[in-house]
């Protein structure tokens, strides 16, 4: 049985497995799951018991992530790993650039391209080898990952499409995801991504090195609002017994390696634990905002956070700007001019937009303390005050995504020099009309 991300609103109903960090379990065959221990000498149905530990053994219980898988064959049945050269995947960025950088939507492929072939590393902060930092990758695909599977040994990751539906197989079960969904993949869990239909697909694959993703503390917001753990939906167990040649691709230390296997990795008949792939529909996010005056900080839109252990200085914060009411007065509707301590990467996931700075599939990077803000045209509209006293429903069709990192994000050669880079992006916020009466112009 597969889980369709479009039905994630049903979280909490009977038969739906849900809950970020929750202890969940599923079996594709009745009786396949051991009832009272994890690794019995004789597992039910002749299955092999195997533990997936996505975090170190001794992390506090609240952060510990592990699952037990009961599979037809042990996953040790593969040859040695060897380096898999890839022109787009990089362990390091090569450009620490303080300028604002922007990219138009990456063109979709015209020749057969599977998910792995279509990867380009956008930027890296910190180091996968040191287990501190993050990486952002772009993907395009128009062909299935035929008898291939991928996992990241570097970190927990998020798969975020912005063009078309994807079928994703994992060791735990299957998903169908579309723009507006975020799929969380545990560190070390194998998966395979196929486009649904004939058209090409596009999106982002984001990794957090070290600690995985968790829900942010709500603080003064209180007990409710923002993202709810129950809206993160897991798949039901679904196994495939596929003998014959397979390629297992392993991302390790920022590079790709490959090993040949004698069978497919998706032969898990039952599982239980809390290191589980989960899909979240961003439409379920319940935003809070200003209802009096002044523009709030974007931190109130945080869906997930990957902490570093330093308060507020996270490897990644995933924020979303969904459809919502704006009722603040005497302030900017859009973010005003600002400089921030974090690296700030933005993209549009769904819907049309009239903003010439971005279109769906486009992206941008604002480095720490580099000034940025609204365009001169937008400034004039804000200062006109026509809608100053009226509540307004904003972002009705477009969904904005933002990633903020404590680490300096260094852009790779492949992404910085891409032909779809927007050379005019850094100048779009320049040219504001000066209104202060300068010396010599005063009466």
pLDDT digits (tens, 9 = 90+) for 242-298: 878 999 999 999 999 999 999 999 999 999 999 999 999 999 999 998 888 887 888
Domains, in order of start, for the chain: 3-283 (2.60.120.10), 286-427 (2.60.120.10)
Could you tell me the two tokens for 41?
Answer: 């000498």
Instruction: Report which DSSP code applies to 282.
Output: G
For residues 345 and 240, give the distance between their C-alpha atoms in angstroms, rounded to a whole number.
Answer: 38
Give residue-wise pLDDT tens across range 327-363.
Answer: 888 877 677 788 999 999 999 888 765 554 567 888 9
pLDDT in tens, 40-83: 999 999 999 999 999 999 999 988 999 999 999 999 999 999 99
pTM: 0.93
Q: What are phi and psi of 271, to 5 degrees?
A: -155, 160
pLDDT for 14 equals 52
- What tokens were used for 262? 């004698």
Question: What letter does residue 441 receive in the DSSP assignment?
Answer: S
Known catalytic residues are: 295
Q: Determine the Cα–Cα distance for residues 330 and 2; give it in Å rounded to an integer.
A: 49
Please compute the mean of the pLDDT values over residues 133-152 and round it to a whole number: 97
Per DSSP, the three-state class of 82 is: strand
């Amino acid at each position: 049985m597969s889980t369709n991300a479009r039905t994630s609103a049903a979280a909490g109903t009977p038969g739906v497995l849900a809950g970020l960090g929750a202890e969940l379990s599923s079996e594709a065959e009745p009786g396949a799951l051991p009832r009272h221990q994890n690794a019995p000498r004789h597992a039910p149905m002749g299955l092999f018991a195997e533990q997936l530990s996505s975090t170190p053994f001794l992390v506090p219980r609240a952060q510990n992530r592990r699952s037990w898988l009961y599979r037809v064959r042990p996953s040790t049945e593969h040859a040695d790993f060897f380096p898999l050269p890839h022109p787009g995947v990089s362990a390091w960025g090569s450009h620490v650039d303080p300028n604002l950088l922007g990219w138009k939507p990456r063109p979709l492929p015209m020749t057969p391209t599977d998910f792995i072939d279509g990867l380009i590393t956008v930027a890296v902060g910190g180091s996968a080898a040191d287990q501190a930092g993050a990486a952002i990758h772009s993907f395009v695909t128009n062909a299935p990952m035929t008898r291939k599977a991928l996992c990241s040994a570097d970190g927990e990751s998020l798969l975020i499409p912005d063009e078309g539906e994807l079928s994703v197989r994992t060791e735990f079960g299957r998903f169908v995801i579309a723009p507006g969904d975020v799929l969380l993949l545990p560190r070390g869990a194998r998966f395979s991504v196929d486009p649904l239909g004939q058209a090409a697909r596009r999106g982002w694959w984001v990794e957090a090195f070290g600690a995985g993703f968790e829900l942010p503390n709500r603080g003064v917001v209180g007990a409710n609002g923002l993202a709810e753990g129950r809206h993160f939906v897991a798949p039901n167990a679904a196994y495939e017994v596929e003998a014959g040649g397979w390629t297992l691709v392993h991302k390790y230390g920022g590079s790709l390696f490959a090993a040949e296997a004698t069978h497919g990795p998706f032969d898990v008949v039952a599982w239980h634990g809390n290191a589980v792939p989960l899909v979240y529909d961003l439409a379920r996010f319940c935003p809070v905002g200003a209802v009096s005056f002044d523009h709030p900080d974007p931190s109130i839109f945080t869906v997930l956070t990957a902490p570093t252990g330093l308060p507020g200085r996270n490897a990644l914060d995933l924020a979303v700007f969904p459809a919502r009411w704006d009722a603040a007065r005497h302030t900017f509707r859009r973010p005003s001019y600002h400089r921030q301590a974090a690296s700030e990467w933005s993209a549009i996931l769904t819907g049309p937009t009239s903003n010439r700075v971005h279109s769906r599939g486009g992206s941008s990077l604002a480095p720490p303390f580099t000034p940025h803000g609204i365009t001169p045209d937008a400034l004039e509209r804000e200062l006109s005050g026509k809608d100053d006293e009226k509540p307004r429903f904003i972002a009705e069709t477009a969904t904005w995504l933002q990633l903020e990192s404590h680490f300096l994000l260094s852009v790779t050669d492949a992404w910085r020099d891409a032909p779809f880079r927007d050379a005019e992006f850094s100048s779009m916020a320049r040219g504001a009309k000066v209104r202060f009466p300068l010396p010599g112009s005063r009466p």
